[in-house]
Structure 1
Amino acid sequence: MGPRGWGPSGGFSVRGFPELVIFDLDGTLVDTRAWWLPVAEEGLRRFSERTGRKVPFPGGEKAWSLVGLPDDEVFRGLLPPERQGEWEVLRDILVPIEGEVLRSQRDFLFPGTRELLGELKAAGVKLGVASNCGPDYLEAVLEGQGIAPWVDASFCRGRPEGMGEKAQMLREAMRVLGAQEAVLVGDRDSDARAAQDAGIPFVLREGSGPEVFAAAYACCAASNQEGVRDCLARGCFQGG
């Protein structure tokens, strides 16, 4: 496969931007560090109460490393090995807490997120969301943080039914929105690998940690939303 991308020398673009931009959520649009750790700790406290056996909080570094993984990996990862078979119990406790926080009218989007989405939308760019989360969390972010009006299509594990790996979400977003070219903006190695598997360029939203593969694969990297906008406007090509 030859170079994939957009820009003045080829590819598909809308007023200088890519035809379709697909965003990850946590660490990309949502400043998950601002709320995740106390929510995870509270979820484990309630889990301990419900099950009658105390589970210690695994620590901030461990809890943060789980953000962006599929639900089963997140909730198993918060539990000690001997309790990981109970991950669905923890999920059923923790997901509603997440929803309450995200719908609490507190702003957990990174500064400049609404401006970025608004500018892209005004330019005629198609916008998608692809996340490893479950449907309840996806809805809590889209509705609770007020970004649903900008998003043309959103995908997560199990939405639509049967949806699995993020690369599948990216291909489905292109199909549903009729896009010939797209770019993924994400913050994790897993995002970059999904973009690679789907054969599309990747822009790294820095800040989640030392994501070695993502940094190597990304055609552009930015530490804030203004920088992401500049990456998208600059043009980006990657070999496939």
Structure 2
Amino acid sequence: MSHESTLTKPQAMIFDMDGTLFQTETLLLPAYHKLFDTLRSEGLYTAPTPPEERILGSLGMLLDDIWKVVMPDGSQEAHNRANELLLELELEGLAGGDTLLYPEVKETLKALHEQGVKLYVASNGLEHYISGIVDTHELAELFDGLYSAGKHCTRTKVDLVKLLLEEQQVDSAWMVGDRSSDVEAGKKNGLHVIGCAYAGFGNHDELKGSDVLISSFTELLKLYEEAASHT
């Protein structure tokens, strides 16, 4: 891991959503259990609900790949129905108001925005899920763009971030995330990567290759303020 002094002030910051900005388990786990209750009631799945660790460990993957991990014994019909149910139940959960961002996320994003940093989301999630979180937690005015695999039909986060950089004409950015897919997306697009080590969904190797690891979201502001300006 390189030292913080090697960072230069970016034009933009690109954020993963789950496990980075949003405490996913506050929304996901209640929806997860309802989802399997519904699949069983509809006769699409007969086994007990798979362990929560499977879905939490799959965060950051594309949705189709998640179900292959969570219920490898499920039919394609069950996987397709799970896709529909998860979005429906998560949007209901967001409307219910019991979900959480990580501490100081909104305040830190606001401070970065006020300093002129362009802020983006790049997530492998569905479009309405990402926009639902942003709207529920009143973050819309802080972001310059929301990019999701669901909307842009990208197969990897590398491709999604590449598209974002091209469309938004961003020359320098930090990729901020908690999974290996975020590290890969940043590095393959020539970006500095800030690894978020506070969510705890992945294994210890998830953030290998990050330039800096942070243990709370507020550290991002300090990193930005101490980063060297472009010469």
Q: Which TM-score band (shorter chain)?
A: 0.7 to 0.9
- Residue segments in structure 1 that go unaligned for 5+ positions in a row: 1-5
CA displacement 1:54-80 (0-9 Å, x = unmatched): 232111221210122111012333324
Q: Secondary structure at the match of 1:164?
A: coil
CA displacement 1:72-126 (0-9 Å, x = unmatched): 0123333242435531111111211011112323341111010011001100100
CA 1:84 to 1:200, structure 2 compared with 1: closer, same or farther past 3 Å? same
> What is the CA–CA distance in structure 2 between the aligned matches of 1:157 and 1:185, rounded to whole Å?
17
Q: What is aligned with 2:65?
A: 73
8 Å contact kept, 1:103–1:143: no
What is the total number of aligned residue pairs between the two structures? Answer: 223
State how 1:68-217 maps to structure 2 within 5 Å: 68-84=60-76, 86-160=78-152, 162-206=153-197, 207-208=199-200, 209-214=202-207, 216-217=208-209
Q: Secondary structure at the match of 2:34?
A: helix
Give the 4+ runs in structure 1 shifted more than 6 A: none
Q: Which AA in structure 1 matches 2:227?
A: G
**Greater shift in the superposed pair: 107-116 or 118-127:** 107-116
- Residue segments in structure 2 that go unaligned for 5+ positions in a row: none
CA displacement 1:176-219 (0-9 Å, x = unmatched): 322211111000111111111212110011132324151x3111
**Greater shift in the superposed pair: 81-90 or 69-78:** 81-90
**Greater shift in the superposed pair: 42-51 or 102-111:** 102-111
Using the aligned pairs only, state the percent identity.
23
TM-score between both structures, scaled by the size of structure 2: 0.87
> What is the CA–CA distance in structure 2 between the aligned matches of 1:176 and 1:186, rounded to whole Å?
21
RMSD (Å) for aligned C-alpha atoms = 2.2
Q: Which AA in structure 2 matches 1:229?
A: L
**Greater shift in the superposed pair: 52-61 or 117-126:** 52-61
**Greater shift in the superposed pair: 195-204 or 205-214:** 205-214
CA displacement 1:155-188 (0-9 Å, x = unmatched): 111423x433211221222223222111110001
